[in-house]
Amino acid sequence: HPSTIAYHTFVSEVDGHQRELTLHQRYLCMFRAVRNRRGEHAQRFREWARAIDPEYLRDGLMAYAPSQVAWYDVRRRFTLTTGALSAAGYVLGVGDRHLQNFLLDRTTGDNVAIDFGHAFGSATASLGIPELMPFRMTPQMVRAFGVLGTDAVAPAIEATLKAAQRHRAAITSLLAVFLDEPLSGWEARQELKGA
């Protein structure tokens, strides 16, 4: 859709061109540094994460809104869609949720997930650095939700989980195809990487 922009591109625009490295490049450096220092992963990650401005996402979303009323709606839609995607991704075990796997609608604030190549928990086993978090919820996202923080996104998560529970028979029926061919595609890709 023409009004969507990849998070990666959005972050580069918002982060500004005054820096030597873009935010995405700094994250890549962080992951390389963490990978090279066994035993220091969590500590190094926290140090690097603290260096990222927690307001950049909120400020960037606010810049898309032409008025305060529009900003309220953009923030509300961003919060609702993030909650729904988080819950759905958790239920389906969708991983590999980096900045290139989300789009942002610049007119509505909707958060749009793309690339479901790692689903059903495959990201916990097949990525170089296993993904152990159930969904993406960064300090920048929490700030963009507004003063309620994670409490603002909780109703959307709850509503999505309740809808999944109500429609579990239909969901189970749709996912039954993976019982015959569970993760063969992901397993084959991982074997090729290791070879």
Concatenating the DSSP letter of every residue in 24-78 gives HHHHHHHHHHHHTSTT-HHHHHHHHHHTS-TTHHHHHHHHH-SSHHHHHHHHHHH
Determine the pLDDT at residue 146. Answer: 93
Task: Specify which residues 53 forms β-bridges with.
Answer: none
Nearest CA-CA partner of 57 in 26, 3, 104, 14: 14
CATH of 4-8+54-194, one of 3.30.930.10, 1.10.1070.11, 3.30.300.170, 3.40.50.1820: 1.10.1070.11
**What whole-number distance in Å separates Cα of residue 128 and Cα of residue 28?**
13
Neighbours of 156 (CB within 10 A): 19
Contacts 24+ apart (CB under 8 A), 149-153: 152/79, 153/79, 153/80, 153/82, 153/83, 153/86
Concatenating the DSSP letter of every residue in 128-162 gives SS---SSS---HHHHHHT-TTTHHHHHHHHHHHHH
Determine the pLDDT at residue 195. Answer: 43
pTM of the predicted model, to two decimals? 0.75
- pLDDT over threshold 50, residue 18: no
Concatenating the DSSP letter of every residue in 77-117 gives HHHHHHHHHHHHHHHHT-----GGGEEEETTT--EEE----
What is the side-by-side strand order in the sheet with 102-105?
A: 4-6, 102-105, 111-113
What 3-state DSSP class applies to 20? coil
- Average model confidence (pLDDT) across the chain: 77
pLDDT confidence band for 92 (50 / 70 / 90): confident
**What whole-number distance in Å separates Cα of residue 69 and Cα of residue 194?**
52
- In tens, the pLDDT along 152-181 reads 999 999 999 999 999 999 988 888 877 666
- In tens, the pLDDT along 38-89 reads 566 667 667 777 777 788 889 888 988 999 999 999 999 999 999 999 898 8
- pLDDT over threshold 80, residue 142: yes
